[in-house]
Amino acid sequence: MVNPPSSSSKPLHRRVLLKISGQALAGTLAGSDSDSQGISQEMLEKMASEIAQVRDLGTQVCIVVGGGNIYRGVAGAKTHGIDRATSDYMGMMATIINALALQNALEQANIPCRVMCAFPIEAIGETYIRRRAIHHLEKDRVVIFAGGTGNPFFTTDTAAALRASEMGCDLLLKATKVDGVYSADPLKDHTAEFHPILSYDDILTRNLGVMDATAIALARENLIPIAIFSIYEQGCFAKVIRGKGNFTLITEKE
C-alpha cells in the first residue's frame, strides 16, 4: 500500500513508473475523449511540470507511453483489415513519436531524459538494456520506454507492468481521464461508486477493465501496487506519490 506521509526527507517511493496513454497526450487540461488525435503542447508542458515535482521529492521516474492518439494496433487490425502483428508494430512506432515529443518537453524544462526503445532504432534513441536503464535512473535521469514490449499482441499496459518489474519500481501509476476506479463510467453515470482500494483479484474477476489481464497478473506476481489517478488535476502525480489526493490503489489485498 501507499505509505502515509512522513516528515522524513526520505522519499516515500524510491522509483516509480508512470504509464501515460496516447489519448492523454492528445488532450487538453479540461479533458479529452477517446477519439482525440495528435499531440497537445499544453499537455506535454503539464506532464513535464508534474514529473519535475516528483523528481523534486527525490523519486526516480520512468515512463511508458502509449500511441493511441496516433495509431492503435487492435483498432487498425479490425477497421482497416491490416494483419494484427503488422498493425501492432505500427502502434509501436506511434509510441516512439510520443516518446520523442515528451522527451523534448522534459529537456526544455531542464530535466535530463533518455528514450529507450524495445527494438533498435539508434538514430533517435537507445535500444533497451535493463542495466543501462537502471544506470540512467540512478543518475537521476527520466527514462521513457518506447516501442511497447517490442512484440505484437501485447499492450502498453503490459509493457508498463513489465518495465516496472524489471526496474524494481515500488509503484506503478496509470494516468487516466478519471480519478480512480468506479463501478461504472463516472462521466456517463453520476451514481457510479468510487473504489479507493481494490485487490488484483478484484480487477480480474470483476473485469473492471482498468488494465489488461496480463498487466494486472504481472503486477500481482511481482507485488507492485498500481495507482489509478486523473492526469488533469494540477499536481496530481506528486499528490499520489505522497499518498494524498484522490486515486484508487490496486494491491495484494483489498
Question: What does the alpha-carbon distance between residue 211 and residue 204 come to, in Å, rounded to a whole number?
Answer: 9
State the Cα–Cα distance between residues 53 and 228, nearest whole angstrom. Answer: 18
Asked whether 32 and 26 are in contact (CB, 8 A), the reply is: yes
Residue 253's pLDDT is 74
Residue 95 CB contacts under 8 Å (≥ 6 apart), including other chains: 22, 65, 66, 67, 146, 147, 148, 156
**What's the pLDDT at 161?**
98
pLDDT at residue 2, as a whole number:
46
Helices (H) and strands (E) in the chain, counts: 9, 11
Instruction: Please state the φ and ψ torsions of residue 217, each to the nearest 5 degrees.
Output: -65, -40
Residue 22's nearest CA partner among 33, 13, 14 is 33
The pLDDT value recorded for residue 36 is 65
CB-CB contact of 92 with 71 (8 Å): no
pTM: 0.90
Q: Which amino acid is at 79?
A: T
**Residue 164, C-beta contacts closer than 8 angstroms, at least 6 positions apart:** 17, 62, 172, 219, 222, 224
Backbone angle region of 209, left / alpha / beta, with phi > 0 → left and psi within -120 to 50 → alpha: left
* Per-residue model confidence (pLDDT) at position 5: 44
H helices present in 4-128, as ranges: 22-26, 41-56, 73-80, 84-108
Q: What residues of the chain score a pLDDT lower than 70?
A: 1-10, 28-36, 254
Interior angle at CA 25, CA 23 and CA 29, nearest 5: 100
| Set of cell numbers at residue 9 | 526527507
Rounded Cα distance, 46 and 40, in Å: 10
DSSP state of 28: B
pLDDT in tens, 169-220: 999 999 988 899 998 888 888 898 999 999 999 999 988 888 999 999 999 9
CA–CA separation, 38 vs 32, rounded Å?
Answer: 12
CA distances from 136 to 132, 144, 159 (A): 6, 11, 19
Residue 155 DSSP one-character state: -
Cα–Cα distance for residue pair 58/52, rounded to 1 Å = 10
Radius of gyration of the chain (CA): 17
Architecture of the CATH domain 15-251: 3-Layer(aba) Sandwich (3.40)
Q: What's the first-to-final CA gap in the chain, in angstroms?
A: 10
- What's residue 10's pLDDT? 63
- CA pair distance 83, 151, nearest whole angstrom: 14
Domain range list for the chain: 15-251
